[in-house]
Amino acid sequence: MLDAIQNSYRRAAIQKSLFVELHDLRCKLAMGTCLLAERTGTLNRELLLWLEPIEKSYQGFYAQPDFGKGIQGLLKLNDQQLQELCKQSADRGLSLKKYALPFLELHLSSLPLFSPEFQRNVLEIRAQLSAINEEIDLVRFYQAKTYDSSVTPENYEIIRSSIKRLYGDIGRMWRDLADNTGKLLQREN
């Protein structure tokens, strides 16, 4: 009986902290998705409307009060103005960050305290994040190749094309993971 009570308190404490970490991840992924879209010329009103409620609802460590004002400003632009903004940002460098879930990693052995569905959802988020980080490693590999003087002009163009394709893939993966994380957070609250 005492174990059941202790496990209940332990489960609640772990879930609370895990949800803080997942909210942080969701916000970082959403902001990264929009930055990536801006740099690749795919930023549009639909994406900004997707980002807006995520940013508004986020109160965590990475909250940026002026970010919401920036979204509002971008939503006032028409499609042509958004595309012009993307063109201005296209030549700026982009360094993708890999994300981690250190609290989850530390408490993997405690997942049996939760329902099988919760465990499956959390482990799916972990797997998706791992797959994204592998894609980011591939981008970094290709980016390093762009500085290799032995690369032929034809191969250089292939590399740049691969990087652009990977940026699009990563942006979609970040968005999907942000959505999946949001679903878990809503279901469990």
What CA–CA distance (Å, rounded) separates 11 from 7?
A: 6
User: Which spans in the chain are helix H?
Assistant: 2-40, 45-57, 65-75, 79-89, 102-106, 116-145, 153-188
**Average pLDDT of the chain, as a whole number:** 90
Cα 128 to Cα 3, 28, 37, 38, 131: the distances in Å are: 33, 15, 20, 23, 5
Number of structural domains in the chain? 1
φ, ψ dihedrals at 106, nearest 5°:
-65, -30
Q: Dump pLDDT digits (tens) for 7-52.
A: 788 999 999 999 999 999 999 999 999 889 988 888 899 999 999 9
pLDDT (tens digit per residue) in 85-128: 887 776 666 889 999 999 999 999 999 999 999 999 999 999 99
Q: Roughly how many angstroms between the first and final C-alpha of the chain, as a whole number?
A: 26
Domain range enclosing 116: 2-93+100-188
Q: Which pLDDT score, from 0 to 100, does residue 93 have?
A: 67
Calculate the alpha carbon distances from 20 to 26, 30, 112, 126 in Å: 10, 16, 20, 15
In the predicted model, what is the mean pLDDT of residues 138-142?
Answer: 96
pLDDT at 91: 62
Single pTM value for the model: 0.89
pLDDT cut 70: percent of the chain above it: 95
Question: Can you tell me whether residue 64 is helix, strand or coil?
Answer: coil
| Distance, CA of 147 to CA of 121 (rounded, Å) | 40
pLDDT band of 4, cuts 50, 70, 90: low
Q: Would you place residue 66 in the very low, low, confident or very high pLDDT band (cuts 50, 70, 90)? A: confident
Residues in Cβ contact with 114 at an 8 Å cutoff, skipping those fewer than 6 apart: 11, 15, 122
